Amino acid sequence: MLVFAQAGNIDRGECAVAATSTNPADSSNDPAHAEEWDLGRDLRASLIRWLATDRTAAPLVDPKGLCVLGARVTGSLDLSGVRVPFGVRLVRCSIPDVINLSATDVPSLSLEGSYTGEILAVFLTSHEVVNFGSDALSGGQFSASGVVNLTQAKAKFFRFSGGHFHYSEKPRFSFGDPAFKTALFLLQIESRGDVELCCGFESNGAVLLNEAHSSVGDLNCSGGRFFNPGNVALDGGGASFGWVVLGPIVYGVVGPSGFEANGAVNFANTRVRANFLVDQAKFSGKSKERHGLYAPGLSVGGAFTWRNVDLPNGASLELTGARMTVLIDEPRSWPVPGQLFIDGLTYQQFGIEAPLDSPRDAGSRLRWLALQPTFHPQPYRQLAQVLAAGGDDVGATQVRIAAEDLRYSRYGIPGRIWGAFLKNTIGYGHRPMLTIMWSLAMVVIGWLIVRAAKAAAVMRPTYPDNALAAGDRRYERLYPLLYSLDVFLPFVNLHHEHYWWPDADAAGRCRVFGQTLNLRGSVVLYYLWAQIIAGWILSAIFVAGVTGLIRGD
């Protein structure tokens, strides 16, 4: 039979103690060895239900609630649909049969340090805590040998820290897709505080947190282990929290170990009001299995931190369409080439304060963008925008040109040729002053050629088209530099080309750098034609570059 004993190390309250020791950490209270306990430690599940449902029995329970230490609960505990008038706390108990808490309303519920079978607790309401973990005072871990289902449960806090969960090979209650091998259902739970999956938490099977919501609390997975190889290990898609922590650090406090997942970790369309922290985390899995962090559509109001992360065997990082204010990362935590997915990712700045500073130079960030499996223009535009906003206009231009290199490389040989021309003449419209340099070069070359043509006497006056006036024996003098400018500039008329033109049939000699050169008028003519064409082309792309007509952004 059970006796009441003072257990000062259990919140200094009255607990029914089924063993000789009131110390939860005593080996005699280890539920892993419950088969060795004598019959005197048995507690009928029907007795707990009677206390909860009988109006004459309920007042007999201590105002602090029902607390039992080290008992073996026999039979199936069924409190479904019951409004329990007192808190229920079963510490280091063995409860091998199914626990049914569907639509149960209870002030508080704690199974800390207990060993259980399957738990069905959909629509459970606890006005304080739901504790399926291992409290520091209990001296042992919670362990469920079958699936635990808390879909649409409500509580002030959900505490699973240190708990061990395992999916059921043949579950008593069918729920969801069995292919997920789910160990813990937390679908659409509502918490007014934190949801703790930390500090030694371990699941052998999927943990589903889809559309879970905490009004002011965080999701703390620091030190958690999530194992479901080749499958979904942790899914928080569509959830809403203040912080999400996958690592050992919570507000500067170092946890016992880092976060680890074997399988896919999904936070698609999750809303995080403050920060999303991934630090000292490992996303393991086989090379051909889907594993890594997948967070398309993630929304982070503060910083997304990605540091000290191990991504073995080609683990992925997907942030497609994600939004965040600050991106904090480091090269050693980047995935291998082909496993970074960031098309549509938007951010306002990189981390700038040590030790959480990030690479901010264009070269490093271009190597980061190159980890994507295919080219997408948006990540390059986003990076250029952030660099420009930070004052690095040179780096921003470098990124824009790199994007155009990749864009034109997809268009085959003609596209590569045209892209190379635009890059070298105008920087794809991002360096329009390059056109001025090419124009100056063309004018200088034309000046030298016309000067040589003048010395070789292959330039001829254009009369009788421009015949002298009666009695006027003077003719317009040839100025090679003005002539070259007049030929090159399509929109400017210096009235010099009108008077002189090379004679294609003439030939002569001139000295260039001390060497005698034979020069034919036809060669000068062909060059001047080329210079005229170049003038039109360079002028046109200069205007297009300045106005942004040919920029890819």
Crossing angle between the packed helical segments 433-455 and 480-488, to the nearest 10 degrees: 130
DSSP percent split of the chain into helix, strand, coil, nearest 5: 25, 30, 45
Residue 548: per-residue pLDDT: 62
Q: Are strands 66-69 and 72-74 parallel, antiparallel or unpaired?
A: unpaired
> Which two tokens mark 294?
């997948």
> Which two tokens mark 479?
């100025």
Q: DSSP for 120-139, please give it.
A: E-TT-EESSEEE-S--TTTT
Residues of the chain whose pLDDT is less than 50?
1-13, 251, 254-255
CA distance 497 to 482: 9
Instruction: Look up residue 313 and give its amino acid.
Output: N
Q: Which residues contact 252 (CB under 8 A, 6 or more apart)?
A: none
pTM: 0.80
Instruction: Look up residue 422 and give its amino acid.
Output: L
The label of the residue with tokens 């990712």 reads 345
How many C-beta neighbours within 10 Å does residue 526 have?
A: 13
* Beta-carbon-side half-sphere exposure of residue 410 (alpha carbons within 13 Å): 8
Please list the alpha-helical segments (H only) found in 226-376.
362-369
CA distance 268 to 210: 9
* Beta-carbon-side half-sphere exposure of residue 31 (alpha carbons within 13 Å): 32
Which of 511, 361, 507, 46 lies closest to 369 in space, CA to CA?
361
Task: Classify burial at 388, counting beta carbons within 10 Å of its beta carbon; exposed 0-12, middle 13-18, buried 19 or more.
Answer: middle
Which of 299, 348, 309, 302 lies closest to 329 in space, CA to CA?
309
CA distance 57 to 51: 5
φ and ψ of 544, to 5 deg:
-65, -35
Question: CB of 442 within 8 A of CB of 531?
Answer: yes
Residue 402: per-residue pLDDT: 87
CA distance 508 to 210: 87
What does the DSSP 8-state code read for residue 346? Answer: B
For the chain, the farthest-separated pair of C-alpha atoms sits apart, in whole angstroms, at 141
Question: CB of 498 within 8 A of CB of 466?
Answer: yes
State which H helix or E strand residue 310 sits in.
Answer: strand 299-310
Residue 12: per-residue pLDDT: 44
> Which two tokens mark 293?
């962090």
Q: Are strands 99-100 and 77-78 parallel, antiparallel or unpaired?
A: parallel
Residue 4: per-residue pLDDT: 38
φ and ψ of 196, to 5 deg:
-105, 115
Q: How far is CA 221 from CA 57, 315, 457, in A?
A: 40, 19, 87
Question: CB of 163 within 8 A of CB of 198?
Answer: no
Residue 373: per-residue pLDDT: 96
Instruction: Look up residue 412 and give its amino acid.
Output: G
Q: Which residues contact 333 (CB under 8 A, 6 or more apart)?
A: 306, 307, 308, 309, 311
Q: Are strands 3-7 and 13-17 parallel, antiparallel or unpaired?
A: antiparallel
- What would the 3-class secondary structure string for 39-93 be? HHHEEEHHHHHHHHHCCCCHHHCCCCCEEEECCEEECCEECCCCECCCCEEEECC
CA distance 348 to 326: 6
> Which two tokens mark 228?
């479901």
Residue 466: per-residue pLDDT: 56
What does the DSSP 8-state code read for residue 322? Answer: -
Question: CB of 511 within 8 A of CB of 451?
Answer: no
Residue 469: per-residue pLDDT: 58
